[in-house]
Amino acid sequence: MELRVYKSEFPKERIGKNNDGGYVICNIPNIKYDVLISGGISNDTTFEDQFLNKFSDIDCYAYDGTILESPSTNPKFHWIKKNIGFYEKSNETNLHNLINSNKSIFIKMDIEGYELQWIESLSLDQLQNISQLVIEFHSAFTDRHKKMFQKLNEVFALVHLHGNNFKYDLVNNIPYFFECTYINKKYLTKSLEFNTDTIPSTLDQPNLVSKPDVFLNFEPYVHNNIRLPRTLKLGPKGFY
């Protein structure tokens, strides 16, 4: 199963602002990141600023071609006016140069669907240079997306998933929009176990304050012997 969620052997922490813009990361003991790469920042750098405070010896390279100026005054925050995708050209980057030159990278990515092309552009060796990946997926229902998730699973373990309540519909049991936290398997010291914690977790917050969060308490997200019901109904606490 391409989107099976596993327990994390490492403690988790939420970084960034409340609701949309905050993400859950894993605190891997004694890890030393070389760089933070961020894609699709818009005008919100609360995640990046808090991450740089937590890991004060690294810099952040943030890519967004849709904004006119840097939204952060942090001297370790470097904005590049490019979008992220498959190619390397004047207005787009695939990040290959930066990924090839660093061996322990944290990446936070929300690039409105272009994550598919970007991941397709990367080799498995390049993915090995990413220690932790926090990423939002958009309409990830196609065979290309299935291959993309299979590719990620060769290198990473999916240890956190949260549905974005901007849209509730499921397609093939997959939310339209969802946030994932992946950790590189090279850091694991224990065998992987299926996740049994509820989704959303106590660290999660609804992206839209005005709507209930998305509950995904069935396999492959939560392993509690509850299979996906034939019909999902939306109640005051999300799907049931």
Dihedral over Cα of 112, 114, 120, 125: its sign: negative
Domain extent at residue 29: 12-187
Residue 108 lies in a domain: yes
| Alpha-carbon span 2 to 70, nearest angstrom | 36
pLDDT tens column, 83-119: 999 999 999 999 999 999 999 999 999 999 999 999 9
**What is the mean pLDDT of the segment spanning 203-216?**
96
Q: Is residue 201 predicted with pLDDT exceeding 90?
A: yes
Please report, rounded to a whole number, the percentage of residues in the chain having pLDDT higher than 90: 89
E-assigned strands of 123-194?
A: 130-138, 156-163, 170-171, 174-175, 177-184
- Give the pLDDT confidence score for residue 1 in this predicted structure: 66
Residue 225 lies in a domain: no
pLDDT tens column, 125-143: 999 999 999 999 999 999 9
Tokens 């176990």 — which residue? Answer: 193
Which CATH number belongs to the domain containing residue 157 in this structure?
Answer: 3.40.50
Residue 223 lies in a domain: no
Helices (H), 76-142: 96-100, 115-121, 124-128
Residue 37 lies in a domain: yes
**What is the mean pLDDT of the segment spanning 70-90?**
97
Task: Specify the number of domains making up the chain.
Answer: 1
Residue 1 lies in a domain: no
Q: How sure is the predictor about 227, in pLDDT bands with cuts at 50, 70 and 90?
A: low
pLDDT tens column, 26-56: 999 999 999 999 999 999 999 999 999 999 9
Check residues 200 and 230 and name the one with the higher pLDDT.
Answer: 200
- Give the pLDDT confidence score for residue 228 in this predicted structure: 52
**What is the mean pLDDT of the segment spanning 55-77?**
97
Q: What average pLDDT is seen over the chain? A: 93
* Stretch (H or E) spanning 37: strand 35-39
Q: Is residue 212 predicted with pLDDT exceeding 90?
A: yes
Residue 102 lies in a domain: yes
Residue 216 lies in a domain: no
Residue 156 lies in a domain: yes
